[in-house]
A = this chain, B = another copy of it.
Amino acid sequence: MTSRITAFFVTKNRGKFREAYRILSKYNINLKQLPEEKLEIQSDSLEDVVLYSIKELVKKHPKKILVVEDAGLFIEVLNGFPGPFSSYVYKTIGLKGILKLLEDKPTRRAYFKSVVAFHAPGMGPRIFTGLVYGYISYEIRGSGGFGYDPIFIPEGSDRTFAEMSTEEKNAFSHRGKAFKAFAEWFVQSFSSRA
């Protein structure tokens, strides 16, 4: 077994960090929060957004093991809106705005997508994705989580993400899946090197 490695998760969002930390600690990966701004480009593709972000961060922190993540809520009947611009939309029209836009729509299908990008000195960036399908609820429900959690019901549940504990949400969630995919690859790659 390799010695414990420290990776830096660049995010200002404490909720995101907490979710990732819970998962990675099970794989014996030591995650630290680096609460810095990261540059995000405007793109329909979350993959492009995180690849650009990490490329810029590497210039600043060339010796660190870095992790960034970006996620979005994609609503089918709104052509994927708010997608990669989920944080901006959340800050402006908010959950009520989303419910309003869906008021007279025939379907409320949506998915959350998370893309994790990883970079270590001497290794090119790698990305890992996680998806969770579900529905937008008819009203705001629950107080856990953050962002769109109070209006997203994953398939196979009747509760919103905000009505679940971090552990429960991680079992379903896009971010949980992306970080698990990352952790499994990470543990395998780094232990085979030791």
Residue positions of A touching B, CB distance < 8 A: 39-42, 44, 49, 78-85, 88-89, 91-93, 97, 100-101, 103
Most buried by B among A40, A41, A89: A89
12 residue pairs A–B, Cβ–Cβ below 8 Å: A39-B41, A42-B84, A79-B92, A80-B92, A81-B88, A81-B89, A81-B97, A85-B88, A93-B101, A100-B100, A100-B103, A101-B101
Return chain B residues, CB-CB under 8 Å to A44.
88
Q: Which residue of B lies closest to A96 (CB)?
A: B101
In angstroms, how far is the closest chain B Cβ from the Cβ of A36? 15
Asked if A92 contacts B81 (CB within 8 A), the reply is yes
Distance of A51 from chain B, by nearest CB (Å)? 13
> Considering only CB atoms, which chain B residue lies closest to A82 in the complex?
B92
Task: Give, as a whole number of angstroms, the nearest-CB distance from A194 to chain B.
Answer: 39
